[in-house]
Amino acid sequence: MARRLHAIIDSKGVKLDDIPDALKDSHSYVFFQADGVVGEDGSSSIIALNRSSSGDWLFSAETLAAIPLLESVGEEDANPVAQTASSVPVERNSPRATIRTFIEAMNATPPDMKTAVDCLDPTGQDAQAWSVTSRDLAWTLKTVMDKIKVAVLAEIPNATDRPPYIWHTGKSGNIVVARIEAEAKDDVADARFALQKGEWRFTPQTLKTLVATYRDLEDREIVTELQRAGVKERLTFRQRVERGMPKWLRAELLFLMGWQWMALAGLLLLGWLVKLIVAIVVWHLMRRRLSRSKLHIETESQRRVARSIGALATVAFWYVAVRPLGLPPALLGFFLGASKLALGVVGVLAAYRVVDIVGGHIAANRDVSVTRFDDVLIPMLQKTLRVFIVIVGLLIAAEWMGWKPTTILGAIGVGGVALAFAAQDTIGNFFGSITVLFDRPFGIGDWIVIGDAVFIVIPGVDNLVSRLKQRRDTPTEQRVNPLDLTANIVGASAA
């Protein structure tokens, strides 16, 4: 508080020569009076009081309570540009504003991580890994600042246009806040990397050397004044793990520490166990469901579905588990990007195979299949759903890889128009068949006369096999006419 009060007095231009050495018949002296500004307790001045018992002059308790208000008055006076510049966020329009915003966000309950991360300059960082590394960097920066000194806002420049402000100079790196000079770009894929010209952020070099700076101060306690205010050290997952590690596990080997190599090997083993367990559970649940329904789905089809869902669970596990290991941003970004791509591919494959199981279940379930028309509609719905799954999977994977979905959809729209003109007859026949199916003029087993030609509607071979298996398990009195089934078999064989 003494440092803050000194900065306020210095900013008001108080001269020592103007202060009297002695005052007659007065026990108070006003150093400064804020015009038109009054705090909640009525204090807005810097006042010294004379203790009659000892004769000492001391700053009053009201003065200490007015320090935050006097600091805010100083900000308004020293930063007139910030009041009119609407393009630059007020929270980051000067070195003082950025440091204050960062500290207040980290000290909030719970911490406002988004606001704190917005005070960091992500230039040069891996976009895939930034969602993970940014939070760890914010916590590390807060811990380092708390171990160095109290951030006295009144001592930090509040000018909007000035050289970078160096808050701390260290052996391994400095803590610097600098103004963004480049114009904001509209074509930035990640909105978090769209920096606004004129705002102030902690520099990329500060973030690059932050881990080394923390290691230099690892054994130092938080500043006593902050400890008394209730500030405690909060470690990231990597820092907590490393504190309990022997030195040989913290030694760097091929750009990773020993314990990180061991953790990656453990994740590979755990991923294989996750796949095995999930596949077994899905397999048993599926078999139980099918056995209750008395449906016959090929065993190999069931196994493929179980393996696909197990693989999907494994990739999801790796995607989540690799994040807190504190890997280098480039390597972490590679792992996250590869995991997202694998999630898209395996997810599409799993959904593709589930469609086969669900379609077979519906086709073989007499309670669901109401008319002979469904034997034609269900296979068509299966194929349509497969195409839909592939398209959605490709769009999601493209978005995860940083491509804009709007661009892809636009290209698909242009290509669709060109395809429509080139294949008008095919598309007309497709929608004509859809109309016929929904009008239900005929079904499986019906005879159709078109001109001089006579046709019989028969199911496909795969569908016919499933119907034969269904008939085998159907009570005799509920079975279909053998003559109708024989006609279908002859027609299917001829086809």
On whether both 65 and 176 belong to a single domain, the answer is no
- Give the residue from 57, 77, 97 where a domain finishes: 77
Using the predicted structure, report yes or no on whether residue 52 has a pLDDT greater than 60: yes
| Mean pLDDT for the stretch of residues 187-198 | 71
What pTM value is reported for the model?
Answer: 0.62
62 inside domain:
yes
C-alpha span between 138 and 111 (Å, rounded): 11
Residue 118 sits in the same domain as residue 32: no
Radius of gyration in angstroms for the set of CA atoms belonging to the chain, rounded to a whole number: 36
> 62-66, 238-242, 243-247, 295-299: which range is least confident on average?
295-299
**Helix crossing, 127-148 with 95-107: angle to 10°?**
90
Residue range of the domain that includes 193: 79-234
46 and 58 in a single domain? The answer is: yes
Phi then psi for 178, rounded to 5 degrees?
A: -135, 160
Instruction: Tell me, yes or no, whether 383 lies in a domain.
Output: yes
Sequence-distant (6+) residues with CB within 8 A of 179 are: 160, 161, 162, 164, 198, 199, 200
370 pLDDT exceeds 50?
A: no
What is the tens place of the pLDDT at every residue in 57-88? 888 888 888 887 777 665 554 444 444 444 78
Residues 144 and 65 reside in one and the same domain: no
Residue pLDDT, tens place only, 414-432: 556 665 566 666 666 666 6
Chosen domain end from 205, 234, 263: 234
The rounded Cα 447 to chain-centroid distance in angstroms is 58
- Same domain as 274, residue 221: no
321/389 same-domain check? yes
Does residue 477 lie in a domain region?
A: no
Is 141:170 a contact under the CB 8 Å cutoff?
Answer: no
Q: Which two tokens stand for residue 241?
A: 């793990």
Contact 325, 264 (CB under 8 A): yes
Mark whether 226 and 94 lie in a shared domain: yes
Residue 480 domain flag: no
Count of domains in the chain? 3
Model confidence at 113, pLDDT cuts 50, 70, 90, reads: very high
Which residues lie below 8 Å from residue 441, measured CB to CB, with a gap of 6+? none
- Mean pLDDT: which of 53-62, 233-242, 275-284, 287-296 is highest? 275-284
Q: Is residue 306 one of the residues assigned to a domain?
A: yes
φ/ψ of residue 94, rounded to 5? -165, 165
Average pLDDT for 346-355: 80
CA angle 332, 335, 339 (to 5 degrees): 140
Same domain for 96 and 213, yes or no, is: yes
Residues 285 and 229 in one domain: no
Residue 472 counted as domain residue: no
pLDDT-based confidence at 476, cuts 50/70/90? low
452 domain residue, yes or no: no
Residue-level pLDDT at 442: 61
Which residues on neighbouring strands pair with residue 30, listed in sequence order? 47
Do residues 230 and 267 both lie within one domain?
A: no
Q: What per-residue confidence (pLDDT) applies to 470? A: 54
Q: What are the pLDDT digits (tens) for 301-345? A: 778 888 888 898 999 999 888 888 888 888 888 888 888 888 888
Structural domain ending residue among the three candidates 56, 77, 98 = 77
Each residue of 50-89: b (16+ CB within 10 Å) or e?
Answer: eeeeeeeeebeebbeebbebbbebbbeebbeebeeeeebb
Question: Do both 85 and 56 map to the same domain?
Answer: no
